C-alpha cells in the first residue's frame, strides 16, 4: 500500500464525511483520471497530446472532412491505447461508490468507456464515445469493436458495411457541438447535486468547465482531485493534488467502512 501523508489523510477523511452527508453526489471526470490506465491526457507538459500536435490541425471536424487520412494517422496511437486500456483503481472506486448509492451520476469528458468497464451505470459522456462509429454518408451506426480492432492492429480506415464510405468514431471533434441530450442531463445533474467531485480535469474546456460553478451557485459542496490547480480551487471545500488512483480508493474505503 502506498503511504499517505497525514495532511492528505485529513483531506480524505473530510471528503468521506462530505460523501456520507450527501444525498445527491455527482462526479465530473477528465483525462487525468485515465492516465494511470496508460491513456495520455491533453495538456500535461511534455506528455499531453497537445504538447506535440495542434488540435485544430489533427482533431477538428474540418480535418476529418477534408483530410480523413490525416485524422486517422493521428488518432491511431490514441485509439490503440484506449482499445487495450483497463480501468484503474480510481474508476473502480467510483463504480463501488455508485453501487453503494453514494453517487447519483458521473459526467465525463473522457471517450475511453473505462467508467462503464469498471461497472458504473449512470455515465453522461460529454465528448462522445469510442463504443460506436457512424457513417458520414448514410449515417448507419456500428459497434466499434470489430472495426476499431482492424484499424488499431492494421491501420485500416473503418468503412461502412452498407455504403463503403468512411466511418467516423462517435467522439466530439473540435468544431462539433456537444451532444445536446448529454449536455441537458449534465446541467440537470450539476444543478440538483449537493456535492460535486471533480477528478482529473483541469476545468479549462468550456462549457463543461462551468458545470461545477452551476453546482456551487446552488449551494453544493465541491471536492477537487487533480495534479494541478484549477480556476475553482479557491471555491472548493477540499483540494487534493495527488494521484486519483490512490486517493479515490482511500475515500471510498473511508465512506463505506468508516
Question: Active-site residue numbers?
Answer: 127
Tell me the three state secondary structure of residue 142: strand
Q: Are 133 and 167 in contact (CB under 8 A)?
A: yes
Q: Which helix (H) or strand (E) holds 126?
A: none
Cβ neighbors of 178 (< 8 A, separation 6 or more) are 126, 127, 172, 207, 208
In contact, 135 and 169? CB cutoff 8 Å: no
| Integer Cα distance of 168 and 236 in angstroms | 38
Q: Is 194 exposed, middle or buried (0-12, 13-18, 19+ CB in 10 A)?
A: middle
Amino acid at each position: 500500500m502506498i503511504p499517505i501523508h497525514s495532511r492528505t489523510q485529513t483531506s480524505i477523511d473530510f471528503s468521506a464525511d462530505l460523501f456520507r452527508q450527501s444525498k445527491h453526489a455527482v462526479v465530473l471526470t477528465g483525462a487525468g483520471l485515465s492516465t494511470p490506465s496508460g491513456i495520455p491526457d491533453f495538456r500535461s507538459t511534455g506528455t499531453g497530446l497537445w504538447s506535440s500536435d495542434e488540435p485544430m490541425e489533427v482533431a477538428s471536424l474540418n480535418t476529418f472532412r477534408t483530410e480523413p487520412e490525416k485524422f486517422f494517422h493521428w488518432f491511431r496511437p490514441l485509439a490503440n491505447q484506449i482499445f487495450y486500456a483497463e480501468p484503474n483503481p480510481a474508476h473502480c472506486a467510483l463504480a463501488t461508490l455508485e453501487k453503494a448509492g453514494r453517487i447519483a451520476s458521473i459526467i465525463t469528458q473522457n471517450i475511453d468507456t473505462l467508467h462503464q468497464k469498471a461497472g458504473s451505470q449512470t455515465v453522461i459522456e460529454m465528448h462522445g464515445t469510442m463504443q460506436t462509429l457512424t457513417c458520414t454518408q448514410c449515417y448507419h451506426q456500428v459497434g466499434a469493436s470489430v472495426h476499431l480492432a482492424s484499424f488499431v492492429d492494421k491501420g485500416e480506415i473503418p468503412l461502412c458495411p452498407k455504403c463503403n464510405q468512411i466511418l467516423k468514431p462517435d467522439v466530439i471533434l473540435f468544431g462539433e457541438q456537444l451532444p445536446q441530450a448529454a449536455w441537458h442531463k449534465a446541467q440537470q445533474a450539476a444543478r440538483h447535486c449537493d456535492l460535486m467531485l471533480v477528478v482529473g480535469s483541469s476545468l479549462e474546456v468550456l462549457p463543461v468547465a462551468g458545470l461545477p460553478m452551476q453546482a456551487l451557485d446552488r449551494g453544493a459542496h465541491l471536492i477537487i482531485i487533480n495534479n494541478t490547480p484549477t480556476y475553482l480551487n479557491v471555491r472548493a471545500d477540499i483540494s487534493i493534488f495527488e494521484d486519483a488512483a490512490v486517493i479515490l480508493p482511500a475515500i471510498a474505503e473511508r465512506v463505506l467502512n468508516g
